[in-house]
Structure 1
Amino acid sequence: MTDEEQEFAPFNKIQGVASTNVVAYSNEYDDFISFEGSYVHGIFTGFKWQCVEFARRWLLLCKSCIFQSIRTAADMWHKLSFVERVTDGQKFHLKKYSNGSPYKPTCDTFLIYSASIQAPYGHIAVICEVQESFIRVIEQNFRFHIWSNNYSRQVPLVFRDGLYYIEDYLNIYGWMGIENNDQLRSLNKSNVNLILEKYRQPKEISGLNRCIAPHKVFDDMSVLYSMDINNQNEKCSMKFNGNDRCYYQANDDFFINISSISNELYSLFIQVTDNIIHDDEILRDLEIPNQFWLRIRKSWIDEREFDVIDHMEFKLDEKNLKLCKYKVNPALMIFHSAVLQEKSIQTMNIAYDFTSTFQLHHLLVRYWKKLDIKNTIHILIDSDDELKESIIYMQTVMIEAGINVKICLLSNELHWKNSTIVDSDGEIVKIVWKLCIWEKIFQDFTGQYDANKKKDCWTPAHKEHPCLSDILLNEQIRIIEPLWKSITNHTAFLSILSRKFPNHPNIVSSEWIPSKDSKYTPLVNWSTEKKNNDIIQSYNATKTFDYRHMCEEIISEKNCENSDKTIVSLMIHGVCAGFGIIEEPNHIMDAKNNKLYCCMI
């Protein structure tokens, strides 16, 4: 069966229930690592939804035991010797039986697969049934996706020359049984209150260390892309200085905290966005022209999947992550920088398990493939677009995903043809991708269509070349990074979010108030307004919403050695795909002045 014919159950989809109380979830892809922690009764069971997490959660719920932290499933065969009961700390030894053992496998034992090209981390499953000719196993994240809708399967059991062999398409080390298994009971209401505190103490955000490579370990590096603009072959590059040898180190707990918090906050973003989109009063307060309302609501229904890239920015407040207002690079530039940092780190002679952005490019390509776009995507750029290098990078990602892409200068490469918009080749524009500063667009629209303010609908100008509003409000055109994101990316969004969830530990209070209160600092530094590319415009004092009164609570920097760092979580369609670190960003500054560093885990 080819990849195209296989069915992929969505991430988090329930596949079944084992042993009456252990749910198996889909990881969607066998090589995806969410780095989001799974917790049961406060006990960490692993990354959602890896096979090791399922085995540990099954052991906890069915046997009241857990096993120590283990890097991969394959490592369990050599490095795991016991499990321990969470109610009293007693250890129960594991007995290993190599594949080809005279002892027949039994129920409630672990089946361990070795690492291979097909399964670089190995695999673990739980044997739940044994017959003469087969065993039945229950598992999570098995690489044959045709089984993604069934959490259990049969595996042949062969008795040959007095030995038992479990045969599967991957190599099997053997099976591991728990000695004195009959003494173990499931975890339920009668004993859950006996769990020892040492097993469920929450892990704090910690372990972030700045490092410098001891010598020059990589040469000056540049990554080149090419594009054709106005019939000229233009080369764009992003360069790294070989002397810039800074990197960060952290443990996987750090990644788990960032991923879990980011994914949770994204779900809150979606809730608040839905509330705002359907509230005329708030849309009016945010000064979004009413001509956009219908199109925003339509995009919320029809273009939810077209939310591709986002980022969240956090500050460390002692040991907690605090979500802050977007103040640094646009998301695309951060993604591009992170991928290039990943390339440069690979040239360093430094030992590490993985980096904080190791799967970023791969997941970007995969998500573009998942969108299954058949029409040409027109990438719209301005002649002086400062994101040009990053836009070209995203073009290469789309092409790698099998998508036909055209880059068009917005000013002169799109035309009206009757009532449709076409490119210079005469191809009808059906899907566009452009990273927009929505508030600036709304202001431009208000000025350009001043005569239509009192109308309830938008009408195009029908000049020779369509303007951006003609494209964004055109019902014949679908938008990637859609119009509804104008709500989530609005300057005032976090203030609304903080009002909806006032006591959330990871959300900084953000208010529409004058900044005289010593607890708050202005979000807008008007002396650097021009440096911020005129993203934020002055408003008439009579307006309901006044950016000059946007303030954010000052985060305490006491006893926090990393308070000068901004931690940027990189999101692909609402799932944390990696993170980077920016040092001492100015409150508002030119995006190109920021430097993103990857973190080695």
Structure 2
Amino acid sequence: MTKIKNRQDVSFGTPIGVALGNVIAYSSDYETTNPLIYKSRSDFRSYVDGIYMGHKWQCVEFARRWLYTNKGYIFNDVAMAYEIFNLRSVRDIANNTELALNAFENGAKRLPELGSLLIWEEGGEFEETGHVAIITAVFNDKVQIAEQNMAFSPWPKGQNYSREIKAKLGDDGDYWLHCPSDGSTILGWLIQTDDAENAVIATLPIPALFNIESCTALLPNKDNSPWLNIANDDEYAFFKMMNGHQLSYNKSSALRYYNISSQAQIALETATDELHQMFMHATDYVLEHPELLEKFGLPTHLHEKIKRSWSNRANQLVTSRFDFSMSEYGLKVYEYNCDSASCYMEVGKVQGKWLKHYKVKGGTDAGKDLFNQLVKAWKARAINSVIHILQDDDPEETYHALFMKNAIETAGHECKIIVGIDTLKWNEHNEIEDSTGIKLQWIWKTWAWETALDEIRNSEDEIRNKVKHLKHEKPRLSDVLLNDNIMVFEPLWTLIPSNKAILPVLCTLFPNHPYLLNTSFELNDDLIRSGYVTKPIVGRCGANIKIVDEHQQVIAEKSGNFETRDQIYQTLFPLPYINNLYVQVCTFTANGNYAGSGVRVDTSMIIDRDSDCLALQCKHDT
């Protein structure tokens, strides 16, 4: 959110006050961050007693730190502060138990208490994020609160709270806190209590609302009438690959699309935001524990380079994709694709045009915001020269690259696509240039990082076998992507959250989390009893995945080029089988936040690169 500067503001990390309970609040003026103190991404992560509190020095971090210091419990990770209002438990750290947390709307008949969490909705001065503060004193006509990331100036001398908010007690005992007319809204307060009288009723989601509905569109008056605009380069590339104006390879699916409920859509948004934070936390944890990093099968001499990539605050993730199974049996994440994910154009553009062409009513395109969110993410990147898109000579990568080029250019950056790497060359300064002499400085790629790492592994084999190893006349992919003078999106550190070895780490850090499937580096009795899926820690498009049921029968299996890689074992949680197709939900992020949804379908339980992307819409509430 945007703050008004004043002469009393102090720089980032400077104490601005000490709250009741002896908890320090710090300035969060990021524009004044000292790069000599805050050198890396890890330096912005706040820990107390080894327990993660949040990102320095945001409002969520202060609230969690105050509760831990004074109450001994913390709330779970959230992407946005307003999402705290939906939490219904906190975790007692010493006893590792859950305690009830109840929410009371502004105007409730239960007054807030010392230590209550005060929550603002997104909007107004808290655009997109909302806000959270700790209530430190309650009166009939006001409350006193302590917080971070609201102002950057010190609290008044001798005052152990940041500000007061006017309150009014109604005739019926209803307690109201003042909301100014700037668009910011107080949702209410949260109290750790078992007494739910006058609290917001926590309605449990109806399981059936998570079922995906298979639907059939009506055939338009003109059969096979065109709907892709072939004057647009990305749509023409998609048209050529699909051999016509169609979204599905399979003729039996030509008119098929899927509906999800608005409740399921909200659940996907919440899960995506929360899981992104969890994967980032796990990435930091892995890079701080060498014994875990060894399990990721990465070239050892690159470990420090990966750590530097993570530490570099400019190396931010632009976009990524989660793969989910969603049905009445729950919502579970399979994996996180934040290296070289696909299906952006299908979800961000084609499915919307398909739904419009077939005049599908009663819902909203689930990918309608994806393109605009990608544009917003690229606008947030401080880029001062041409962005080169590197892609393989592949029809799918062609339209994928053209779609992303459109987003980059709409964000105001200059962009060029390079197909293959044969046209790249070294210049006299040992820098890499394109065929027109433009130096490569910023890259977005469709190549997987592992392709470059395989080149390194092969070179190491040559050296070990005493094969003469000369510098190549032309730059190799690894020369480009691992070049210290080139910034690559998505960054090198995405090798960690994209690697399936992260999944057992997540289960250790977040035991019994509702979005996670039990996953282990070893096949254990629990997995054998439930049925399990064997996955290589590095793999693409479903290659070398094997599914074994509770009777130890292999019910699905795919070959590939990753059979020599180490494996993980994940609890079997099948995709829903709907009208003869298995359906996987994919959600996309931009700047680490939910940006859109789509589906991939197949007659096989294992989704691969040939699986169809069909249209998905969120049904309007009835």
CA distance in 2, matches of 1:235, 1:340: 10
Residue 571 (structure 2) aligned to one of 542, 548, 553: 553
| Counterpart position of 1:222 | 228
Residue 509 (structure 1) aligned to one of 504, 518, 540: 518
Q: Which has the larger radius of gyration?
A: 1
C-alpha displacement of 1:493? 2.3
Q: Specify the SS of the correspondent of 2:364.
A: coil
| Counterpart position of 2:372 | 362
Would the aligned equivalents of 1:329 and 1:591 in 2 still touch at CA under 8 Å? no
Residue 211 (structure 1) aligned to one of 203, 209, 215: 215
- CA offsets per residue over residues 94-140 of structure 1, 9 Å max, x none? xxxxxxxxxxxxxxxxxxx9xxxxxxxxxxxxxxxxxxxxxxxxxxx
Percent identity between the aligned chains?
20
Would the aligned equivalents of 1:430 and 1:477 in 2 still touch at CA under 8 Å? yes
CA distance in 2, matches of 1:362, 1:345: 18
| Counterpart position of 1:247 | 257
- CA offsets per residue over residues 212-238 of structure 1, 9 Å max, x none? 22443784433447779xxxx999566
C-alpha displacement of 1:462? 3.6
C-alpha displacement of 1:533? 11
| Counterpart position of 1:391 | 401
- The one-letter code sitting in structure 2 at the alignment partner of 1:484 is W
Alignment of 1:145-156 (within 5 A): none
Q: Specify the SS of the correspondent of 2:365.
A: coil
| Counterpart position of 1:466 | 475
- The one-letter code sitting in structure 2 at the alignment partner of 1:506 is Y
C-alpha displacement of 1:415? 0.4
CA distance in 1, matches of 2:386, 2:541: 42
1:316–1:560: structure 2 CA closer, same or farther, 3 Å change rule?
A: farther
Alignment of 1:180-579 (within 5 A): 183-185=173-175, 193-195=195-197, 199-207=201-209, 208-216=212-220, 219-224=225-230, 239-241=244-246, 244-302=254-312, 305-316=315-326, 318-325=328-335, 331-352=341-362, 354-384=364-394, 386-418=396-428, 419-450=430-461, 462-514=471-523, 517-518=528-529, 519-523=531-535, 529=543, 536-539=561-564, 546-547=565-566, 549-555=567-573, 564-579=582-597
- The one-letter code sitting in structure 2 at the alignment partner of 1:595 is C
1:319–1:287: structure 2 CA closer, same or farther, 3 Å change rule?
A: closer
Q: Specify the SS of the correspondent of 1:475.
A: coil
Would the aligned equivalents of 1:446 and 1:453 in 2 still touch at CA under 8 Å? no
CA distance in 1, matches of 2:541, 2:348: 30
- The one-letter code sitting in structure 1 at the alignment partner of 2:228 is S
C-alpha displacement of 1:502? 3.1
CA distance in 1, matches of 2:576, 2:523: 25
Would the aligned equivalents of 1:317 and 1:556 in 2 still touch at CA under 8 Å? no
Would the aligned equivalents of 1:329 and 1:594 in 2 still touch at CA under 8 Å? no
1:42–1:352: structure 2 CA closer, same or farther, 3 Å change rule?
A: farther
Q: Specify the SS of the correspondent of 1:568.
A: strand
1:562–1:330: structure 2 CA closer, same or farther, 3 Å change rule?
A: farther
C-alpha displacement of 1:255? 1.3
| Counterpart position of 1:64 | 108
- CA offsets per residue over residues 437-491 of structure 1, 9 Å max, x none? 333432331112335679xxxxx96422111111122111111101000111113
1:41–1:504: structure 2 CA closer, same or farther, 3 Å change rule?
A: closer
1:355–1:36: structure 2 CA closer, same or farther, 3 Å change rule?
A: farther
| Counterpart position of 1:592 | 610
CA distance in 1, matches of 2:357, 2:328: 34
C-alpha displacement of 1:409? 3.0
- The one-letter code sitting in structure 2 at the alignment partner of 1:200 is A
1:453–1:406: structure 2 CA closer, same or farther, 3 Å change rule?
A: farther
1:557–1:41: structure 2 CA closer, same or farther, 3 Å change rule?
A: closer
CA distance in 2, matches of 1:560, 1:200: 30
CA distance in 2, matches of 1:593, 1:188: 45
C-alpha displacement of 1:435? 2.8
CA distance in 1, matches of 2:105, 2:540: 57
Number of equivalenced pairs:
453
1:377–1:559: structure 2 CA closer, same or farther, 3 Å change rule?
A: closer
Tell me the TM-score normalised to structure 1 length: 0.63
C-alpha displacement of 1:290? 2.2
CA distance in 1, matches of 2:196, 2:580: 37
Would the aligned equivalents of 2:214 and 2:259 in 1 still touch at CA under 8 Å? yes
| Counterpart position of 2:159 | none
CA distance in 2, matches of 1:527, 1:259: 24
CA distance in 1, matches of 2:540, 2:319: 29
Q: Specify the SS of the correspondent of 1:570.
A: strand
C-alpha displacement of 1:282? 2.9
C-alpha displacement of 1:572? 1.3
Which deviates further from its counterpart, 445-454 or 559-568? 559-568
| Counterpart position of 2:164 | none
Would the aligned equivalents of 1:510 and 1:552 in 2 still touch at CA under 8 Å? yes
CA distance in 1, matches of 2:347, 2:471: 39
1:438–1:514: structure 2 CA closer, same or farther, 3 Å change rule?
A: farther
CA distance in 2, matches of 1:514, 1:282: 18
Alignment of 1:34-49 (within 5 A): 39=85, 42=88
- The one-letter code sitting in structure 2 at the alignment partner of 1:464 is E
Which deviates further from its counterpart, 435-444 or 510-519? 510-519
Would the aligned equivalents of 2:321 and 2:337 in 1 still touch at CA under 8 Å? no
- The one-letter code sitting in structure 1 at the alignment partner of 2:305 is R
C-alpha displacement of 1:295? 2.0
CA distance in 1, matches of 2:191, 2:292: 46
| Counterpart position of 2:18 | none
Would the aligned equivalents of 1:381 and 1:410 in 2 still touch at CA under 8 Å? yes
| Counterpart position of 1:164 | none
Q: Specify the SS of the correspondent of 2:342.
A: helix
Which deviates further from its counterpart, 337-346 or 471-480? 337-346
Which deviates further from its counterpart, 189-198 or 265-274? 189-198
1:414–1:334: structure 2 CA closer, same or farther, 3 Å change rule?
A: same
Would the aligned equivalents of 1:378 and 1:429 in 2 still touch at CA under 8 Å? yes
CA distance in 1, matches of 2:386, 2:313: 17
CA distance in 1, matches of 2:111, 2:194: 9
C-alpha displacement of 1:256? 1.3
CA RMSD of aligned residues (A): 5.0
CA distance in 2, matches of 1:204, 1:421: 56
CA distance in 2, matches of 1:245, 1:559: 18
Would the aligned equivalents of 2:348 and 2:369 in 1 still touch at CA under 8 Å? no
Q: Specify the SS of the correspondent of 1:314.
A: strand
Would the aligned equivalents of 2:480 and 2:486 in 1 still touch at CA under 8 Å? yes
1:559–1:452: structure 2 CA closer, same or farther, 3 Å change rule?
A: closer
Which deviates further from its counterpart, 233-242 or 574-583? 233-242
In the alignment, structure 1 segments of 5+ residues that lack a partner are 1-6, 18-32, 44-58, 66-84, 88-112, 114-147, 151-177, 455-459, 540-545
1:329–1:435: structure 2 CA closer, same or farther, 3 Å change rule?
A: closer
- The one-letter code sitting in structure 2 at the alignment partner of 1:509 is N
C-alpha displacement of 1:311? 0.9
CA distance in 2, matches of 1:498, 1:509: 6
In the alignment, structure 2 segments of 5+ residues that lack a partner are 1-28, 32-54, 63-78, 90-102, 113-123, 125-148, 152-167, 177-188, 546-556
| Counterpart position of 1:117 | none
CA distance in 2, matches of 1:507, 1:447: 35
C-alpha displacement of 1:372? 3.4
